[in-house]
Structure 1
Amino acid sequence: MKLRARVAAHTAIMMVLAVTMLAAWPVRGAEQETADSWLLKLGPALNMTTYRGIFVYSRGDQVSSMMIAHRYRDGRVEERLVLQDGANGEILRRGNQVLCVLPEHGRIHLDQVIPSGPFGEAFASQRVPVGAWYQPELLGDDRIAGYPTVVIGLRPRDEHRYGYRLWMEKHTGLLLKSHVRQDGEVLEHFQFTMLEITNDLPDSEFEIESGVEVREVTPDLPVSDKPGEMDGWALGWKPEGFLPAAAPRTDRGQAVAFSDGLATFSVFVEPASGVDMPQGASRVGATTIYMHYASPGPEDARERFLITVVGEIPPRTAMRVAQSVTVDDSNALARTLMD
């Protein structure tokens, strides 16, 4: 798979799952809360607030906006997002099922939600101790999209992750704005520009637009049912606190995703035959892409594998992860490609 497809794969995961980060919980009042207690509200990601609105998401010089309708009813989350820029596209979520409607690809079902971006629901439900890897602090009050918010800072406890700044609505805990930061620089920015928190939304707001032509297609990125499984290769190092999560399979190799509850990175391993990509790192916003070649051993030096790490981690961290990958059984890896 080419670099553009690798980045698109991880970006698509982020797009689908970034919407699940908008979690909300009842609170006792901002004046009674500490930074730690606010952070605990993000963990379970129950998504129990009903709202509609428009948010913008910027990464580097890329800016996009989405319209969202979200509700929690009868114990199930329902959510619909409509792209506001570029080509038409929609994402519809019902519980753990996600349907992407894209003009070029028709309908794509994702049977599992892959954690990515801040507070991905599927991973946060495992109650990852985010506070073990980030130091939370109260930074004051603000107002976003007409709603009062409390501002929480998350300072990384090591050099292997970025920092975050969160704006949470005072009465529901809904995340209204977030920054991914490094050394005072904002690398990525999410923010509601229009928001209405309400008691209920009609069914009509969760129906695919009738004018969009769709067809059933096989997902380009089927999801592995064995998170963290590496067959034929091994990962020698990863930052402390990053645990295996569900990951997409590809038609040329394997992928494994890891998350610490806030940040996510994916490791792709594929045969390098016919692939001529430069080694090294590049970064768009907070997303690093690091490419590295590896061989099973000196006797198999001509049999190369391309290791790609894509995720919201610093370039030095991505480099260390990629260079720790070893291919110990190329035959086993080849068998997984035929499954």
Structure 2
Amino acid sequence: MRSLNYEGTVVFFRNGRLESMKYSHASAPDREQERLISLNSPLREIVRNGDLVSCRYNDTQTVVFDHRPFEHSFLVNFSSHLDALANLYDFALSGEEDVAMFPAYVIDIQPKDEFRYARRIWVEKLQFLPLKITVYDLSGALLEQVVFTEQHVKEALPFSEVKPEDANRSGRAIKESVPGALRFAVKNPPAGFKEVYFARRTMHDSRLPVEHLRMSDGLASVSVYVENKNPEIESGPRSVGAVNFYSRNLDDYQVTAMGEVPPLTVKTIAEGIGLKNGGR
């Protein structure tokens, strides 16, 4: 996935909606880039250069940037340490099928506990590229699907040159992280979930900093946000498609955990959040 140049049309099924996008992955010895171009409204282009992700909206020419050092692909993220994943998931070769007219291996990924979802991945036999990825809830119902309708491996693909300065010209500047140490601790998270990324930044067009902690088990991930109390955010569980949320009050702060994981996972993580030294 990281070393080949390939492109195609991808259909995303998320949150009960279907969306078709053109996908391309360009690779060079010193860089790697992913691009998604929407085929329907709202028209936009999303580009990932390393840990910098940009989104350009065609109607307004607005460009928004975000740093995502914890993600490596728009399609599927795997830890480079598969041995650690084996402690949390069972991997099994369950058959062979054709996807986008390519023969593929079908790999089932079953969690060993109730804190993560099952997945199935169709891997093309020759180049070992993913052709289809599905996510299932604890009852086995389909939550999310990504599938190539066509895919082509190329000798080379062009890189799209998008620079953070473009955001300034569009009137939307990148939200920079604010230095500082983590002011809260996560007690007794579900097995395998570890802290992989932390930033303190301004969000929601607010000048007040929001702490963002990303946790991952190497396949599934959860974001934790700690901010000043927001009366617009209701405490308790919520869900949007495959993404579950859980919010609670903690002194003068609002804690929200969210991710494509079961409701119990985000609740366990949110309930385990505690402030260090009174949150100062």
Interval of TM-score (by shorter of Structure 1 and Structure 2): 0.7 to 0.9
What whole-Å deviation, never above 9, does each CA across 1:2-34 have from its counterpart, x for those lacking one? xxxxxxxxxxxxxxxxxxxxx2xxxxxxxxxxx
DSSP 3-state at the match of 2:170: coil
Give the conservation status (yes or no) of the 8 Å contact 2:33–2:50. yes
Give the corresponding residue for 1:147. 102
The structure-2 alpha-carbon separation of the partners of 1:331 and 1:50, relative to structure 1 and needing over 3 Å to count, comes to: closer
DSSP 3-state at the match of 1:171: coil
1:325 equivalent among 269, 273, 280: 273
How far apart, in 1, do the equivalents of 2:135 and 2:145 lie?
7
2:261 equivalent among 307, 313, 319: 313
How far apart, in 1, do the equivalents of 2:5 and 2:144 lie?
25
Give the corresponding residue for 1:265. 222
Q: What runs of 5+ residues in structure 1 fail to find an aligned partner? A: 1-22, 24-46, 296-303, 333-339
How far apart, in 2, do the equivalents of 1:56 and 1:248 lie?
32
Q: Percent same amino acid among aligned pairs?
A: 27
Give the conservation status (yes or no) of the 8 Å contact 2:98–2:104. yes
How far apart, in 1, do the equivalents of 2:27 and 2:46 lie?
17
Deviation beyond 4 Å, 4+ runs, structure 1? 116-119, 125-128, 223-226
Q: Does 1:199 align with 2:155?
A: yes
Give the conservation status (yes or no) of the 8 Å contact 2:182–2:198. no
Give the corresponding residue for 1:230. 182
Give the corresponding residue for 2:93. 138
Count of matched residue pairs: 267
Give the corresponding residue for 1:244. 195
Give the corresponding residue for 2:248. 292
Give the corresponding residue for 1:59. 14
TM-score, normalised by the number of residues in structure 2? 0.84
Letter in 1 for 2:160: F
Q: How far does residue 319 in structure 1 lie from its aligned partner after superposition? A: 1.1
Give the conservation status (yes or no) of the 8 Å contact 1:107–1:217. yes
**RMSD of the alignment, in Å?**
2.8
Letter in 2 for 1:79: E
1:80 equivalent among 10, 22, 35: 35
| Superposed counterparts of 1:77-116, under 5 Å | 77-103=32-58, 106-115=62-71
Higher RCO (CA 8 Å, separation ≥ 6 residues): 1
Q: Which structure's residues are more often strand, by fraction?
A: 2
Deviates more, 1:322-331 or 1:309-318: 322-331
Q: Does 1:215 align with 2:167?
A: no
Give the corresponding residue for 1:8. none
Q: Which structure's residues are more often helix, by fraction?
A: 1
DSSP 3-state at the match of 2:264: helix
How far apart, in 2, do the equivalents of 1:174 and 1:239 lie?
30
The structure-2 alpha-carbon separation of the partners of 1:225 and 1:175, relative to structure 1 and needing over 3 Å to count, comes to: farther
How far apart, in 1, do the equivalents of 2:75 and 2:218 lie?
7
